[in-house]
Structure 1
């Protein structure tokens, strides 16, 4: 090969323009060509389809359910205003969803600014609606005016019918664009154009809306999955929050339609009793109050067209139901305008602060507390079930998913009502109230002393028992780091896998603890049997935070707990047994999102002549992924050896285990969470408990849903 002539290196004085320009340099310079023509303008609903997660949180089941509840909540807002007492939700056999109500019906007249009908404005314009202080809604769940339009943008087809003005009006959309369909279903021919039209005459005085839509598979994926149980649970919850409202749920997708109906006239008092996990030591108390506050908000000045800070007076309605029980768990549900706020917010902060303050103040006037003893929030909340609701116009939420209330003034107003109402109960001279008040104060005092005793016990020299020995189990392969934010504990199934994992781990921050096969089923066993079991006792000892009520999350020795078992039925059973142990005795780790399962591969492809930039080894983690990868490589003509199927972790080499399962830079972990404690408790009891009947029924029902071709035999 002829040698290349030596290139002369430009001197420091050589100008940039005189230097030779390589292809790479030209490409970089081209990237600097930034003009207005390069800007992408997303108009209308295009932005929703481009970034759907900004509006619905995700494009999986959670996002799909969020869309459904955006439409349902609009109907519920009507019921809150006193219009309509029935909402029907249907999961149709053709893949569509329908929500119907008997409320006022959406406006069908022309909106003057846009020249469009009210229906078209609602479904095609972001931030358009009657919940921006216009007086149509005083306390609504939908606030940003994007719910209906976002659902429309993410639907391959949406049909809306409105009964109003003695007529039924109708309109259709395809991915947010108005038009007409030549037939039924999302695959019918669509012609853009057209607006709201009168379909037929309707009975005089009949009002309401019906919305049917097909979620877009391009957004949510071809295998879209709804969560019927979540729908039923939330429908039940809404019926508690809006007394007198009936919600009918129909699922027509299976062989036989399933229908449920909910209506609770007792309101949140009935809801509190429903949520309580124990026997009550008090009746359900209702703390109610109303107040106002002044909020400065930007409002459009019609004269100047500018946004001007304006003081607006807001009305707040506060309604809280609470009840102390014999147990130790705290159950709190919070809502703003019937929208659940699972992460709390200013209303919950004000409630808990005032609750603790008034109980501590009341105890100061009794002989129950000794000198130096102080009540904390956890003491006051022990065994307490409560439902906290506030209603106000235009509350401030953190994001469209509305999980946290941010309106600052609400905290002070809620605290004011709680202090006045609960204080009146705790100091009441009525015989019945006096006895219940005394029981509450004694329960809080007992919780405080138990907490103090537990802390003192931890700080004192520990007894050398199975859980409190001075040395950790010898089979633990600990890590060198003490930084909890980095450390990881792998609970490894089997001795053979332990040997490979020891060679694959990063010993600086990854610890290993092996278990022999299947541990004790702690759902069936008593706490005494659990403590006598060596595997369970050593696991609790290794985690280092105690167990049960005295579990101290801050004392946990590792930031992540990772179950690493074989990717087969036995491995799944072991993961379930471990999850049961952690759920029953170390649940704060699950609540904090610190428990995971490793995801080892099932198959490995070894390519014979990989191209440049192509990996020599390819891994698949499910049977479906294996079939897809096999078809893809075959179609492209890529040569490979017979794929290897791993029957267990021990069959993998250390470098393979590290690359696929243990290296934080490349691995996949599945976090184990407990979104609904009551549902999780029921599921664990059904799968792992003593009652055989429910478990047998679950297995028999599941057998009919199993694809026989997926059985690896």
Structure 2
């Protein structure tokens, strides 16, 4: 990695002496974002998973059955496994032990050749060494060949610590130390690291829930692997422990992910395929030689259809999640559409004159986990989010097509009934899609004959510039009247909605389009809906949800966000959807000194929560300031006059907006499904648990 040592102002005075070369782990410490993405909590979590993934690769190879992750109270992270253990013998070229080599050299490891791992998650050989470079202290213990071998590092440099913890005295020294004897059959690796706070932000931390979610996911993907998580960062409480093991593999994962009642049982599809590719292979002399190799790709798919409308498809390559799909998912989709169309024709559920069903119809209500395992997968980009290995599409399509056709044509009574139910569900989805398309086309023809395609209740702005324009979706006509006076008509548009819109979480596309409020929102934004939504065509740069600061207002925001999440998700992904934050209280000061240039608003203080109100009143009391009693509490936006609404909620100079991100929308959608879905029992349990936490003094009665 080459970098400039200083800015050179004279173009003629620029020579090789101005260049510097960062060797080894220096490059990692100089530019950590290149290797772990960021130096906040996300980057720290990435470091933890680099170490865990090494143990997971041992489990993928069948050498490891248990992984223990411990979040220690001192901020360190420890990962233990019972795999083969990192090699402790000396690597002849470098003269270093295997442990020291993989911990100090970039692109060193057992995943480049053809002998160590047939499938792995780590491909670049930088994981352990990057974590080592970014750690104030890292300890490694390896059980192998009848001994425990230990070595420690400070910021990537091997040596000896004279006490526990990262601040102990340190003496640089290379080489492993045998600390004790163990049985020859006992093998495994233990890695414990303390993040270097010179690199990471002070508040960088590992979220327990994110760790548990991914640990659960990994345990699903590797049947028989036990993953234990222990969090000792619980002050004054017992450490939190949870253990995951799923012998059913992705079949259990599919059932876990499914949000609705089943139409079919979980169908497990497995198979293999061979393909050839030319890859550079490291020969005995250390040279990379292009070689044609025979590869085997293993396919393992679990899927089931449910009564709902949502689609949940998770795809993985060697336990690496591929959220943006790739060639394996393309082959899966193609096989589903082809086979189901053939069966619908043969069972006469589709007539010869009918249009074939499309992917959208087949995926409605489907929950699926698609996994493939292969050596050295080719990904598009560095993030490993999209599989690029072209042969995966053909092999997955063949395996899934063959097994799915066998299920749909089965003569067994139970499977025959389930296959019929699946085909009828897909056919009904196609009919609903065609009906919705016909309705949209009718609406478009109707709009073309009218003078304006926009709803009459829209109060539009004068500016057509996308950068500044804002659309406020306002709850109720009373708030609309005040908002008209409070807005800047140059760039702020208003669209009122009446009460609570349709719950689109459990409604079809056709029902959503029939709802006047939903249709008006989609029409005003002007970028389409669902798979046809084009964020570049949106008429406004921001969409701001402005509802009362009460339970009903929160419910309305949740309904609106669910509409955006299901049918206009690119707006959320682009960070263009916001929630206005109106105040709850107004404090009117009574002893304000009149200063030249002071505004009338200076004697008012707004607070946005009960806790903030109590803090503010306590601070005012300390300063000897008095206020008018009682403090005004707003029950809705309609109680404010235009000046107050502008200053607190609409004027860009003073207001507070909360940007809604996709990860927040997904969490909200899960809670919304719990509280507003078809399942009554989980909702009753939620209400019963939460009843004890209710503050009765906050109920208006």
Query: What TM-score, normalized to structure 1?
Result: 0.76
- TM-aligned CA deviation for residue 106 of structure 1: 0.9
Query: Per the alignment, do residues 353 and 199 of structure 1 end up closer, same or farther by CA in structure 2, a change over 3 Å counting?
Result: same
| Cα separation, 2, equivalents of 1:41 and 1:106 | 30
Query: Per the alignment, do residues 372 and 462 of structure 1 end up closer, same or farther by CA in structure 2, a change over 3 Å counting?
Result: same
Q: Residue 127 in 1 paired to residue 110 in 2?
A: no
Asked if structure 1 preserves the Cα contact closer than 8 Å seen for 2:580 and 2:657, the reply is: yes
Match of 2:349 among 344, 353, 368: 368
2:17 alignment counterpart:
37
1:673 alignment counterpart:
662
Write out aligned runs for 1:486-497 (5 A). Answer: 488-491=470-473
Match of 1:459 among 423, 434, 441: 441
Q: Residue 692 in 1 paired to residue 692 in 2?
A: no
Match of 1:341 among 300, 322, 331: 322
Q: Residue 92 in 1 paired to residue 80 in 2?
A: no
Asked if structure 2 preserves the Cα contact closer than 8 Å seen for 1:75 and 1:103, the reply is: yes
Match of 2:671 among 652, 660, 682: 682
| Cα separation, 1, equivalents of 2:505 and 2:313 | 29
| Cα separation, 2, equivalents of 1:418 and 1:486 | 49
- TM-aligned CA deviation for residue 109 of structure 1: 0.9
Write out aligned runs for 1:59-74 (5 A). Answer: 59-74=39-54
1:588 alignment counterpart:
567
Query: Per the alignment, do residues 554 and 70 of structure 1 end up closer, same or farther by CA in structure 2, a change over 3 Å counting?
Result: same
SS in 2 for 1:249: strand
- TM-aligned CA deviation for residue 577 of structure 1: 4.1
| Cα separation, 1, equivalents of 2:280 and 2:204 | 40
- TM-aligned CA deviation for residue 282 of structure 1: 1.4
CA-atom RMSD, angstroms? 4.2
Match of 1:102 among 60, 79, 82: 82
Query: Per the alignment, do residues 87 and 375 of structure 1 end up closer, same or farther by CA in structure 2, a change over 3 Å counting?
Result: same
- TM-aligned CA deviation for residue 103 of structure 1: 1.0
- TM-aligned CA deviation for residue 661 of structure 1: 7.6
1:313 alignment counterpart:
294
SS in 2 for 1:511: strand
* 1:598-643, Cα deviation, whole Å (9 max, x unpaired): 68899xxxxx9xxxxxxxxxxxx999xx9xxxxxxxxxxxxxxxxx
| Cα separation, 2, equivalents of 1:433 and 1:389 | 24
1:476 alignment counterpart:
459
- TM-aligned CA deviation for residue 401 of structure 1: 3.5
1:541 alignment counterpart:
520
Query: Per the alignment, do residues 217 and 554 of structure 1 end up closer, same or farther by CA in structure 2, a change over 3 Å counting?
Result: same
Asked if structure 2 preserves the Cα contact closer than 8 Å seen for 1:294 and 1:312, the reply is: yes
Match of 1:52 among 22, 27, 32: 32
| Deviates further, 32-41 or 455-464 | 455-464
Query: Per the alignment, do residues 90 and 273 of structure 1 end up closer, same or farther by CA in structure 2, a change over 3 Å counting?
Result: same
| Deviates further, 429-438 or 154-163 | 429-438
| Cα separation, 1, equivalents of 2:518 and 2:129 | 51
| Cα separation, 1, equivalents of 2:316 and 2:693 | 34
* 1:47-93, Cα deviation, whole Å (9 max, x unpaired): 22222222223333322222222111111111121112111111111
SS in 1 for 2:21: coil
1:392 alignment counterpart:
374
| Deviates further, 195-204 or 152-161 | 195-204
Asked if structure 1 preserves the Cα contact closer than 8 Å seen for 2:299 and 2:371, the reply is: yes
Query: Per the alignment, do residues 144 and 486 of structure 1 end up closer, same or farther by CA in structure 2, a change over 3 Å counting?
Result: farther
| Cα separation, 2, equivalents of 1:652 and 1:59 | 39
Match of 1:189 among 169, 180, 186: 169
- TM-aligned CA deviation for residue 428 of structure 1: 2.6
2:397 alignment counterpart:
415
Query: Per the alignment, do residues 562 and 656 of structure 1 end up closer, same or farther by CA in structure 2, a change over 3 Å counting?
Result: closer
| Cα separation, 2, equivalents of 1:76 and 1:29 | 50
- TM-aligned CA deviation for residue 344 of structure 1: 1.2
| Cα separation, 2, equivalents of 1:424 and 1:57 | 45
Structure 1 gap ranges (5+): 1-26, 603-607, 609-620, 627-646, 701-713
Match of 1:146 among 126, 136, 143: 126
- TM-aligned CA deviation for residue 375 of structure 1: 1.1
Asked if structure 1 preserves the Cα contact closer than 8 Å seen for 2:102 and 2:129, the reply is: yes
Query: Per the alignment, do residues 179 and 670 of structure 1 end up closer, same or farther by CA in structure 2, a change over 3 Å counting?
Result: farther
SS in 1 for 2:178: strand
* 1:439-462, Cα deviation, whole Å (9 max, x unpaired): 221111111111000000111148
- TM-aligned CA deviation for residue 578 of structure 1: 1.2
1:612 alignment counterpart:
none
SS in 1 for 2:578: strand
| Cα separation, 2, equivalents of 1:525 and 1:282 | 22
* 1:642-670, Cα deviation, whole Å (9 max, x unpaired): xxxxx9995598899776589xxxx9873
Write out aligned runs for 1:276-287 (5 A). Answer: 276-287=258-269
Query: What TM-score, normalized to structure 2?
Result: 0.77
| Cα separation, 1, equivalents of 2:505 and 2:257 | 26
| Cα separation, 1, equivalents of 2:241 and 2:100 | 32
| Cα separation, 1, equivalents of 2:441 and 2:27 | 56
| Cα separation, 2, equivalents of 1:525 and 1:339 | 29
| Deviates further, 87-96 or 400-409 | 400-409
- TM-aligned CA deviation for residue 99 of structure 1: 0.8
Query: Per the alignment, do residues 495 and 427 of structure 1 end up closer, same or farther by CA in structure 2, a change over 3 Å counting?
Result: closer
2:487 alignment counterpart:
502
* 1:97-147, Cα deviation, whole Å (9 max, x unpaired): 111111111111111111111111111111111111231110111111111
The number of aligned residues is 614
Structure 2 gap ranges (5+): 1-6, 584-594, 596-606, 613-633, 635-639, 678-682, 696-701
SS in 2 for 1:148: helix
SS in 2 for 1:542: helix
Write out aligned runs for 1:161-560 (5 A). Answer: 161-254=141-234, 255-300=237-282, 307-370=288-351, 371-461=353-443, 472-474=455-457, 476-478=459-461, 481=464, 488-491=470-473, 498=483, 502-503=487-488, 507=491, 511-513=493-495, 520=500, 538=517, 541-544=520-523, 554=533, 557-558=538-539
- TM-aligned CA deviation for residue 249 of structure 1: 0.9
- TM-aligned CA deviation for residue 513 of structure 1: 3.7
Query: Per the alignment, do residues 479 and 654 of structure 1 end up closer, same or farther by CA in structure 2, a change over 3 Å counting?
Result: farther
SS in 2 for 1:290: strand
| Cα separation, 1, equivalents of 2:222 and 2:454 | 57
Query: Per the alignment, do residues 500 and 126 of structure 1 end up closer, same or farther by CA in structure 2, a change over 3 Å counting?
Result: farther
- TM-aligned CA deviation for residue 596 of structure 1: 2.5
Asked if structure 1 preserves the Cα contact closer than 8 Å seen for 2:303 and 2:368, the reply is: yes
* 1:325-349, Cα deviation, whole Å (9 max, x unpaired): 1111111111111121111111111
Query: Per the alignment, do residues 157 and 598 of structure 1 end up closer, same or farther by CA in structure 2, a change over 3 Å counting?
Result: farther
* 1:260-283, Cα deviation, whole Å (9 max, x unpaired): 111111111111111111121212
| Cα separation, 1, equivalents of 2:345 and 2:503 | 42
- TM-aligned CA deviation for residue 585 of structure 1: 7.0
